[in-house]
């Protein structure tokens, strides 16, 4: 029996898989998000280990030794990038205040009814809610009129509405301009000013990658504008730490509290498959004034995102 056609097919399969994965890994190495479909695939970078492993098997069965070497290199680079992210915990000056932060994308407001008991149970001090349209805002503001007397909102329909609820007094700010609402405020946390900014840039859909990159760039500019004031930047970033656009925000001195969830790559979207496959695109980013002591991802029925709750401590700067 002539095995050459089978080996040739195996080599072709291995080559095509390695070429596709290699482009994505190359963009990650080059610190760029590239063009469609690279940004979309970067969100699922850890899962590219599966096609890479299959490509290695095809190369081995086909006895295609150059492909086997290439696959081993790609697999090694992928393994490096799926290592745990840097832990944002650290030591600061004397503690000034502790607070709990919750962020949740409620998917056009559909998750708002399920978010209410989550808020009552977890009792966060500051709540960031994305895709919170008119009905969602009315529900949350009515149910928590006493517990959260301070709020800042972008009042709009569909995915464009957003809301910040706070136990602390808020001074409104201009927020960050974007296609979807991204309100901001200055919170008075026991006499200490803290910048609060909700994040919800457009997702990197085909044909909208440039817009996604620009809106993440505006969030980066916000983070870099006032580095001396304690800052909490939280929401649905539509980006993971494998995206260069998010790493540039972290490059301003912010750290990501999500690794404290127990799994650095714990998925927050899509909620239905997050326990099997997904991407961590919901984040709470903290300036160096804060340390984080714990984080949890919570299922919110009706939403395609998991909520994220983080306990943080504000420290006096050295």
pLDDT of res. 294: 85
The answer to whether residue 86 sits within a structural domain is no
pLDDT of res. 109: 98
pLDDT of res. 1: 45
Whether residues 115 and 146 share a domain: the answer is yes
Whether residues 129 and 64 share a domain: the answer is no
pLDDT of res. 5: 80
Whether residues 186 and 67 share a domain: the answer is no
More confident residue, 62 or 284: 284
- Asked whether residue 238 carries a pLDDT value surpassing 80, the answer given is yes
* Contacting residues for 315 by C-beta, under 8 A, at least 6 apart: 92, 93, 94, 95, 96, 289, 290, 291
| 88 — pLDDT class (breaks 50, 70, 90) | low
The answer to whether residue 29 sits within a structural domain is yes
Number of domains the chain contains: 2
Domain boundary among 17, 49, 81: 81
- Name the average pLDDT for the chain: 93
| CA 192 – CA 200 distance, rounded (Å) | 26
Cis peptide before 232 (omega within 30 of 0): no
The answer to whether residue 62 sits within a structural domain is yes
- The lowest-confidence range among 122-126, 216-220, 293-297 is 293-297
Whether residues 191 and 120 share a domain: the answer is yes
| 93 — pLDDT class (breaks 50, 70, 90) | confident
The answer to whether residue 204 sits within a structural domain is yes
The answer to whether residue 13 sits within a structural domain is yes
pLDDT of res. 46: 92
Whether residues 189 and 293 share a domain: the answer is yes
- Asked whether residue 162 carries a pLDDT value surpassing 60, the answer given is yes
pLDDT of res. 317: 83
Mean pLDDT (whole number) for 276-299: 93
- The lowest-confidence range among 53-67, 157-171, 176-190, 217-231 is 53-67
Range(s) of the domain holding residue 127: 95-315
The answer to whether residue 40 sits within a structural domain is yes
Whether residues 135 and 71 share a domain: the answer is no
| CA 211 – CA 300 distance, rounded (Å) | 28
| CA 70 – CA 22 distance, rounded (Å) | 9
| 87 — pLDDT class (breaks 50, 70, 90) | low
- Asked whether residue 194 carries a pLDDT value surpassing 60, the answer given is yes
pLDDT of res. 259: 76
Q: What is the CATH number of the domain that holds 220?
A: 3.60.10.10
pLDDT of res. 2: 56
More confident residue, 187 or 294: 187
CA distances from 171 to 53, 121, 166, 230 (A): 53, 27, 11, 15
| CA 64 – CA 11 distance, rounded (Å) | 6
Instruction: Transcribe the chain into DSSP letters.
Output: ---HHHHHHHHHHHHHHHHHHHHHHHHHHTT---STTHHHHHTTGGGGHHHHHHHHHHHHHTT-HHHHHHHHHHHHHHHHHTSPPPP-----SSEEEEEEEEEEE-TTTTTHHHHHHHHHHH--SEEEEES--HHHHHHHHHHTTTT--EEEEE--SGGG-EEEEESS-EEE------SS---EEEEEETTEEEEEEEE-PPP--TT-HHHHHHHHHHHHHHHHH-TTS-EEEEEE-S--TTSHHHHHHHTTT-EESGGGGSSTT---BSGGGTTTS-B--EEEEE-TTEEEEEEEEE--TT-SS-EEEEEEEEE---
Whether residues 102 and 70 share a domain: the answer is no
Whether residues 145 and 213 share a domain: the answer is yes
Our measurement of the distance from residue 218's CA atom to the centroid of its chain's CA atoms, rounded to an integer in Å, reads 16
Mean pLDDT (whole number) for 165-191: 97
| 287 — pLDDT class (breaks 50, 70, 90) | very high
- Asked whether residue 85 carries a pLDDT value surpassing 80, the answer given is no
pLDDT of res. 263: 57
Our measurement of the distance from residue 150's CA atom to the centroid of its chain's CA atoms, rounded to an integer in Å, reads 26
- Asked whether residue 262 carries a pLDDT value surpassing 70, the answer given is no
The answer to whether residue 87 sits within a structural domain is no
- Write out pLDDT tens, residues 94-119: 999 999 999 999 999 999 999 999 99
Whether residues 203 and 142 share a domain: the answer is yes
Whether residues 109 and 229 share a domain: the answer is yes
């Amino acid at each position: 029996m002539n095995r050459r056609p089978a080996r040739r097919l195996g080599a072709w399969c291995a080559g095509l898989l390695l070429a596709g994965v290699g482009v994505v890994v190359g963009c990650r190495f080059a610190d760029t998000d590239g063009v469609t479909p690279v940004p979309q695939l970067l969100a699922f970078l850890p899962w590219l280990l599966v096609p890479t492993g299959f490509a290695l098997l095809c190369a081995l069965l086909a006895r295609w030794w150059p492909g086997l070497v290439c696959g081993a290199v790609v697999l090694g680079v992928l393994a490096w990038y799926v290592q745990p992210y840097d832990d944002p915990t650290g030591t600061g000056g004397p503690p000034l205040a502790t607070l709990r932060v919750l962020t949740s994308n409620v998917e056009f407001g559909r998750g708002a009814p399920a978010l209410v008991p989550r808020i009552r149970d977890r009792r966060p001090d500051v709540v960031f809610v994305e895709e919170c349209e008119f009905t969602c805002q009315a529900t949350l503001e009515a149910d928590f009129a006493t517990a959260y007397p301070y709020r800042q909102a972008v009042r709009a329909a569909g995915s464009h509405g957003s809301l910040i609820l706070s136990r602390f007094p808020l001074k409104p700010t201009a927020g960050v301009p974007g296609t979807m609402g991204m309100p901001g405020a200055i919170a008075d946390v026991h006499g200490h000013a803290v910048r609060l900014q909700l994040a919800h840039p457009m997702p990197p859909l085909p044909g909208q990658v440039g817009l996604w990159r620009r809106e993440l760039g505006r969030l980066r500019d916000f983070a870099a504008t006032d580095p001396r004031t304690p800052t909490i930047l939280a929401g649905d970033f539509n980006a993971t730490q494998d995206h260069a656009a998010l790493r540039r925000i972290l490059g301003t001195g912010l750290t990501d509290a999500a690794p404290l969830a127990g799994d650095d790559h714990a998925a927050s979207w899509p909620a239905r498959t997050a326990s099997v496959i997904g991407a961590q695109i919901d984040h709470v980013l903290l300036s160096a004034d804060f340390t984080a002591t714990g984080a949890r991802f919570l299922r919110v029925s009706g939403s395609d995102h998991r909520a994220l709750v983080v306990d943080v401590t504000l420290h006096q700067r050295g």
